[in-house]
Chain A
Amino acid sequence: MRYRLTTGFFAFILNRLSGVILAVFLIPHFFSLYFIGDAARYEAIRGFYDTPVMRFSELALLGIVLAHGLNGIRLILLEAGAPTRLQKVFFWTALSAGALILLISIPHMMWGAR
């Protein structure tokens, strides 16, 4: 198989990589929530996530979720019969929308009370 760097291929790689990362992320996410029955432990874990490094990781996670989710909407539209000539437009729209949401979220995700 020969790979060509087209928009479609870039979208495909982005979706696949983000998908794998999100699937792996489920394990630590569930592990953190496993202590929800113990308020003190839950809050201690939440404190661990409230460091600059972890906040940045969560921002990155939001970016990955946006990339996968918005690109997924594009895929579903195409599979449902939207004209394939629009696939590049869809891709760049999804990417721009994701980037915009991510940008708006930066202050809250990095420095907000949450």
Chain B
Amino acid sequence: MKKAAFGWLLSRASAVVLVAGLAVHFSANHFGRPNASEHGIVMMRLAHPGWMAFYAVFLLAIIYHAAYGLWGIALEYLKKGRVLSAVKSALVILSALLVIAGLWILSDTQMLLANPPAPCYKCHSAGSTAGTIPSGRALRIFQ
């Protein structure tokens, strides 16, 4: 298979992953239950290796898909030359940075889970975010 065809196929494969993944991501973080994006609830979710694996795949799929899409637009409007090369470099660097940031975020949650400040997130019964986990309502400092 030619390199361009492989890139295209990968963008379509990532699209399928993303359509399914976004449904899962939105359901879990916004619709699954009240306050689904609260810190304690998100951490409880991420304590499960399945969610970690999901987000690792989701991360790679979304960064590849976005970079491929933007590169396609650049190819359409720019002639071969310095500007196009610069766009390519910028896309590669930005993608790498976002992948690193994403992996850093995921690893950060695992470090927090491994060394939990009281109370232990893993010890919570589902639905209970009482205790010292700050609630979103209490900390609206930007309002």
CB within 8 Å of B: which residues of A? 16, 19-20, 22-23, 26-27, 30, 33-34, 36-37, 39-40, 42-48, 50-51, 62, 65, 69, 72-73, 76, 79, 105, 108-109, 112-114
Given the known interface contacts A37-B108, A113-B34, the answer about A26 and B98 at a Cβ–Cβ threshold of 8 Å is yes
| Nearest CB of B to A91, in Å | 16
Contact across chains for B140 and A47 when beta carbons are under 8 A apart: yes
In the complex, the chain B residue whose C-beta lies closest to that of A48 is B142
In the complex, the chain B residue whose C-beta lies closest to that of A16 is B73
Besides A34-B101, A39-B134, A44-B140, 6 other A-B contacts (C-beta < 8 A): A16-B73, A43-B138, A43-B139, A48-B140, A62-B26, A114-B30
Within 8 A of A (CB), among B111-139: 111-112, 117, 133-139
Contact across chains for A65 and B22 when beta carbons are under 8 A apart: yes
| Nearest CB of A to B97, in Å | 9
User: B140 to chain A: which residues have CB within 8 Å?
Assistant: 44, 47-48, 50
User: A65 to chain B: which residues have CB within 8 Å?
Assistant: 22, 26
A105 to B23: give the CA distance in the assembly, Å.
13
B12, B36, B136: the one within 8 Å of A43 (CB): B136
User: B117 to chain A: which residues have CB within 8 Å?
Assistant: 39
A43 to B117: give the CA distance in the assembly, Å.
16
A15 to B111: give the CA distance in the assembly, Å.
38
User: A105 to chain B: which residues have CB within 8 Å?
Assistant: 31
Nearest 5 CB-CB pairings of A with B: A47-B140, A48-B142, A113-B34, A23-B66, A37-B108
